[in-house]
Amino acid sequence: MADSTVTQDGGSTEAKPELKRVMGPKLLMLFVVGDILGASIYTLTGKVAGHVGGALWLPFLIAFVVAFLTAFSYLELVGKYPRAAGAALYVNRAFGVQFLTFMIAFAVMCSGITSAGVAAQGFSGKYLQEFVDAPSLAVAIGFIIVLALVNFRGVNESVKLNVILTIIELSGLLIVIAVGFFAILEGRGEPGRLLEFDTEGGAFFGVTAATALAFYALVGFEDSVNMAEECRNPVKIFPKAMLGGIIICGIIYLLVAVASSVLLPVEQLSSTTAPLLDVVKAGAPGFPPLLFAGIALFAVINSALINMLMASRLVYGMANERVIPHQFATVHPFRRTPWIAILFTSVIAIVLVSSLNIENLGGTTSLLLLTVFAFVNVAVLVLRKDKVEHKHFRAPTIIPVLGAISCAFFALPITGRNPKEYLYAGILLGVGLVFWLINYFAMGRKKVDFDPSKLSA
């Protein structure tokens, strides 16, 4: 129930209802952990190994450091502006350039679609083949269609459900770690592989290319800032919850990388669509593969659905703000869901999974988000001149500087990225540019007043 405010003439007006603040520090940390864990580690571990060799742990460690630096910037910004909208809001406040704000929001939307594409291909691979033999492409396309139907019907999410999903996803990774630990104790596996760099272009480019892909596994923490309006005392609880969640996930990923490298040779890891399932089979032949495959599928489904929900709602929000054609904000009269935005994002996802492989999808996601994060790190420094009355977390100046440099570096071609990733990202952002131009001329070249705080509508 909204609170009433008293006007100067003695009357009262009804204040706008606020979101219910239900999340404390523990639930927020679980949300961060659950948002980071997902399809990426279950599907792309082998592809990272294919870039770097047996030293699989190193790119995950470097990716963790880059994500950790950027998390400090998000913490300062969410402390100053405890509202939903995330990167688009911060960039808008820092630079005030509507077109840049739009492109940042569109890049985040595209990252959701490409991330869902990774999940779709992961779902259709070897994890599913444990249950049924089916053509991978047809399954991946069908997977996207089913997600679209679920999205269209409407999904009621809750923090308590997120806790359950997080526990299930986490259990699969703990199984991998336990299997690797006991295998090493029994003298099985090859620990020497942990120091092997099996790369064609040299260790440096192998590590940088692997890190650029591994970074995809550490994203997700930035989504938590959109929960700021549903947290109790967000300015106080966010630092420990976000940093603690990233540290927990970083440790888990490092241990999973060590177990994977010790138990499987690089050739086998890089050639499978279900690397962690093969790790469990190698380390614990007696463990029921169907159980682990089921856990992995559940993690992949959850990750894909969240990303497609986010992408379609961002399209809806931008259309509602009239920065892309307003038809994309059309809501179905019975289901009350943005059906044209859902259809649009689902068609793009189908095109992507039909034409790109899982590594390119993951690399494109990483490229888009690294670019966004570079802007966020710079925005922190620009917004230092914008003072607020309440106390909030402040990152040491060197951290956003290092964050901006590291994010920008791993988004550059010199890291050994596949050039096609720039082409794919450019095409996706080009679609956004076309939308912007259509709306610009349709409105008679009038300035579009884009309020990113309404994107989560």
Per the DSSP assignment, residues forming a β-bridge with 4 are 14
pLDDT tens sequence for the chain (457 residues): 444 444 444 444 444 444 456 567 787 888 788 778 877 888 889 999 999 999 999 999 999 999 999 999 999 998 888 765 678 888 988 998 888 988 998 898 899 899 999 989 989 988 998 999 889 999 999 999 998 988 887 655 445 556 777 788 889 999 999 999 998 888 888 998 999 987 776 788 889 999 999 998 888 777 777 666 667 777 788 888 889 999 999 999 999 999 999 999 999 999 888 899 999 999 999 999 999 999 998 888 877 887 888 788 888 877 877 777 888 888 888 877 889 999 999 999 999 999 988 889 999 999 999 999 999 999 999 999 988 888 888 999 999 999 999 999 999 998 888 899 999 999 999 998 998 888 777 765 555 566 776 665 4
Half-sphere exposure for 265 (CA within 13 Å, toward CB): 2
Name the nearest CA neighbour of 392 among 5, 28, 79. Answer: 79
Distances (CA, A) of 235 to 47, 77, 240, 241, 340: 38, 10, 10, 11, 36
In degrees, to the nearest 5, what angle opens at C-alpha 372 toward C-alphas 22 and 453? 45
Q: How many residues does the chain have?
A: 457
Closest CA to 183 of 244, 92, 260, 293: 260
Q: Nearest 5°: CA angle at 410, between 243 and 377?
A: 50
* Non-local CB neighbours of 270 within 8 Å, separated by 6+ positions: 46, 47, 49, 50
Residue 222's nearest CA partner among 317, 323, 107, 328 is 107
Q: How far apart are CA 361 and CA 328, in angstroms?
A: 25
Does a structural domain hold residue 406?
yes
2 part of a folded domain: no
Q: Is there a domain that residue 7 lies in?
A: no
Q: By C-alpha distance, which of 42, 117, 4 is closest to 292? A: 42
Within-domain flag for 232? yes
Range of the domain at 350: 23-454
The pLDDT value given to residue 229: 60
Give residue 288's identity as a one-letter amino acid code. Answer: P
Answer for the pair 260, 48: CB distance below 8 angstroms, yes or no. Answer: no
What is the secondary structure of 367-436 as a DSSP string?
HHHHHHHHHHHHHHHHGGGS--SS------THHHHHHHHHHHHHTSGGG---HHHHHHHHHHHHHHHHHH
Residues 6+ apart with CB under 8 A from 384: none
Model pLDDT, residue 7: 44
Asked whether residue 242 is domain-assigned, the answer is: yes
Residue 15 lies in a domain: no
Q: List, as own/partner pairs, every contact residues 164-167 make where C-beta atoms lie below 8 angstroms and the sequence separation is at least 24, other chains included.
A: 165/34, 165/298, 165/302, 166/30, 166/31, 166/33, 166/34, 166/37
pLDDT of 379 reads 95
Please name every residue paired with 13 in a beta bridge, in sequence order, or none if there are none: 5
Query: For position 38, what pLDDT does the model report?
Result: 72
* Number of separate domains in the chain: 1
Q: Are 197 and 56 in contact (CB under 8 A)?
A: no
What does the alpha-carbon distance between residue 295 and residue 282 come to, in Å, rounded to a whole number? 18
DSSP-assigned beta bridge partners for residue 23: 231
Q: Is residue 16 part of a domain?
A: no
> 200: domain CATH number?
1.20.1740.10
